Amino acid sequence: MNSQMDMSFQWDGIRALLAVAKHGSLLAAAAELDVSQPTLGRRIDALEAALALRLLDRGPRGVRLTPAGTALLRHAGEMEAAAGRLHLAAIGQSEAISGTVRITAPMVISHFHLPTILTDLVSTDPGLEVELIPTDSTQNLLLREADIAIRMYRPTQWDLITRKVADLPLGLYAAHSYLAEHGPPAIDVLDRHHLVGYDRDPMIITWMRHLGIEPHEGLFRVRTDDQAAYWRLVVAGAGIGANQRSIGDHEPAVARVLPDLDLPTLPVWLVSHADLMSNRLIRRTFDHLATALGRIARS
């Protein structure tokens, strides 16, 4: 073995190793990096040759890290984090007046609020392009999976800028078709009605128990954790469900029920990496979102 390790290996090989370790599959890793599987394999081969180490075991059931690959994984992750910080710092120093801003937001916000907000934004800023990522999972801002995130909780990482922009009131709603068949609910017999439930998210069950209602089998005949699909089920008459009043009060197919029920508000936070806030485009987009979302809460 050559005693002098080749240190000229490329960053692409490190990214390939991290993606394979994350997914346990060359195919899934290639899809994440938007390259072909043979290209990904060549990058891994080149990295192994440069380090003079076998990093992956390939078998009929997929791939797994060798002990050497596992030992190097933490250092590869540190390199990825450092590269991400370098990239963020460079973006933050840009004085460009045109470019793309990536925004990630929960499904309901993306479907019901952002279309109007973003249309207004790009119409008043012709140099701006927006990529919207609707998801209820958390995107990694350090790795620039997004430039700005809209979240319903306050992140606590020290290197993020956060601004609370709204508290959105919630209400319970039922379709007119549901009410015609089952009648309006009362709080003491709410458990006799059908509710649209979450699948794995325990929020609704926790809220009901807070009200002294013990959920029972058959109460949630339809369940989903997809917030946009959840609301469409309520509108279709599948059962009673909750939503932001800024959405529910403007849906003609439903009526608000139990209006005196004390429901929590939904906090809305804007989040971006601290290094990005000196970028003119990102700052303008951040401020526009803050104003528009705050206006929705006030109305």
Mean pLDDT of the chain: 83
- The pLDDT of residue 293 is 94
Total-model pTM: 0.66
Q: Compare 57 and 3 and report the one with higher pLDDT.
A: 57
Mean pLDDT of 88-102: 65
- Say which residue, 36 or 95, is predicted with more confidence: 36
The whole-number pLDDT of residue 87 equals 59
User: Which range is least confidently modeled, 29-38, 171-180, 278-287?
Assistant: 29-38
Lowest mean pLDDT among 82-91, 114-123, 210-219: 82-91
Parallel/antiparallel/unpaired status of strands 148-151 and 266-273: antiparallel
Q: Among 113-122, 149-158, 243-252, 254-263, name the one with the lowest average pLDDT.
A: 149-158
| Closest by Cα among 174, 180, 157, 156 to 84 | 157
User: Could you count the other beta carbons within 10 Å of the beta carbon of residue 106?
Assistant: 21
Among 152-156, 199-203, 239-243, 261-265, the range of highest mean pLDDT: 239-243
Q: Note whether 84 and 143 are within 8 A (CB).
A: yes
Please, are residues 225 and 199 in contact by the beta-carbon 8 Å criterion? yes
Quote the percentage of the chain above a pLDDT of 90: 37
* Max avg pLDDT among 126-130, 170-174, 213-217: 170-174
What integer is the mean pLDDT of 30-45? Answer: 84
pLDDT tens track for 40-89: 888 888 888 888 888 887 766 667 788 877 887 777 777 766 666 665 56
Question: What percent of the chain lies above the pLDDT cut of 70?
Answer: 86
- The pLDDT of residue 250 is 94
Cβ(108)–Cβ(227) below 8 Å: yes
Instruction: Write out the DSSP string of the chain.
Output: --SS------HHHHHHHHHHHHHS-HHHHHHHHTS-HHHHHHHHHHHHHHHTS--EEEETTEEEE-HHHHHHHHHHHHHHHHHHHHHHHHHHT---SSEEEEEEE-HHHHHHTHHHHHHHHHHH-TTEEEEEEE-SSPP-TTTTS-SEEEESS----TTEEEEEEEEE-EEEEEEHHHHHHH----GGGGGGS-BEE-SS--HHHHHHHHTT----TTS-SEE-S-HHHHHHHHHHTS-BEEEEHHHHTT-TTEEEE-TTS-PPPEEEEEEEEGGGTTSHHHHHHHHHHHHHHHHHHH-
Specify the pLDDT at position 61. 67
29-36: average pLDDT: 83
Positive/negative CA dihedral, 280, 118, 242, 200? negative
Contact 68, 44 (CB under 8 A): no
Q: For residue range 153-194, what is the model confidence (pLDDT) as tens digits?
A: 888 776 788 999 999 999 999 999 999 999 999 988 888 899
pLDDT at residue 95 tops 50: yes
221-249 mean pLDDT: 93
Higher per-residue pLDDT: 32 or 173: 173
Mean pLDDT of 235-255: 95
Q: What's the mean pLDDT in 115-133?
A: 91
- Please answer whether residues 96 and 217 qualify as being in contact, where contact means their C-beta atoms are separated by less than 8 angstroms: no
